[in-house]
Chains A and B, each alone.
Chain A
Amino acid sequence: GAVVSQHPSRVICKSGTSVKIECRSLDFQATTMFWYRQFPKKSLMLMATSNEGSKATYEQGVEKDKFLINHASLTLSTLTVTSAHPEDSSFYICSGVGMGESYNEQFFGPGTRLTVL
């Protein structure tokens, strides 16, 4: 199956700093990538949808100036958490949708655990 990687897998940062998380599709071209946030013992919350070369579409209630998403190529999307606060601590997961036969399936990354002190 298609592989999606995320880097870093874990990050700890101080309050007020910015953190960048990378999401890469390793063996397919992801025309669309999604970013999710997962709280402990809760389901996934879709944050935004990004299409290569265009601005991300954010879900209602997600601050686009705080969670900056860039999808500059068909294999890379980045999520930058700006001016991070402890309440931003969470598990962030990305996924990608490929072209062709795999277009109707999302392939998920392993997730990034963010802890803001």
Chain B
Amino acid sequence: GNSVTQMEGPVTLSEEAFLTINCTYTATGYPSLFWYVQYPGEGLQLLLKATKADDKGSNKGFEATYRKETTSFHLEKGSVQVSDSAVYFCALFRGGSNYKLTFGKGTLLTVNP
């Protein structure tokens, strides 16, 4: 079946540090890949997505590239801010009739001033 593995953290960084959160997946065919962010006490927001191999999703300074050869979709940001503190979820959508998302377990990021 489909699965998503991401580093569980927690990850603690200083402001302006470089961020990488690893995400790898297992799925047949060509899934769509997503990163969601959840700020404290809130629901999930789509951060970025990529729907085919070599696509790069980007938003708010975050980037992730769909690498089919390594089945990865690592999240990166060159300079994090305190406001980026949140839980980040990697997810895949395989398609078909049920539209289910398969989530990773989430990575808690804390950015200190």
Secondary structure at the A interface, as helix, strand, loop or mixed, is strand
Is residue B45 within 8 Å, beta carbon to beta carbon, of the partner chain?
Answer: yes
* Interface contact tally, CB-CB below 8 A: 53
CB-CB < 8 A to A93: which residues of B? 43-44
Question: Are the CB atoms of A106 and B103 closer together than 8 Å?
Answer: no
Question: Are the CB atoms of A44 and B42 closer together than 8 Å?
Answer: no
Is residue A1 within 8 Å, beta carbon to beta carbon, of the partner chain?
Answer: yes
B residues contacting the other copy or chain, number (CB 8 A): 23
Within 8 A of A (CB), among B11-53: 32, 34, 36, 41-46, 49, 51
B53-66 vs A: 1/0 string, CB under 8 Å? 00000000000000
How many angstroms between the C-alpha atoms of A104 and B104 in the bound complex? 18
Say how far A62's CB is from chain B's closest CB, in angstroms.
14
CB-CB < 8 A to A106: which residues of B? 93, 99, 101
Q: Which of B99, B100, B101, B104 has the most CB of A within 10 A?
A: B99
Say how far A115's CB is from chain B's closest CB, in angstroms.
13
- Identify the closest chain B residue to A96 (Cβ): B99
Given contacts A1-B46, A105-B93, contact A32 B103 (CB under 8 A): no
Is residue B78 within 8 Å, beta carbon to beta carbon, of the partner chain?
Answer: no
A residues contacting the other copy or chain, number (CB 8 A): 24
Question: Are the CB atoms of B43 and A43 closer together than 8 Å?
Answer: no
How many angstroms between the C-alpha atoms of A34 and B103 in the bound complex? 13
The 6 closest A-B pairs by CB, nearest first: A108-B44, A110-B43, A111-B43, A43-B105, A97-B99, A108-B43
| A contact residues vs B (CB 8 Å cutoff) | 1, 6, 32, 34, 41-44, 46, 49, 57, 93, 95, 97, 103-111, 113
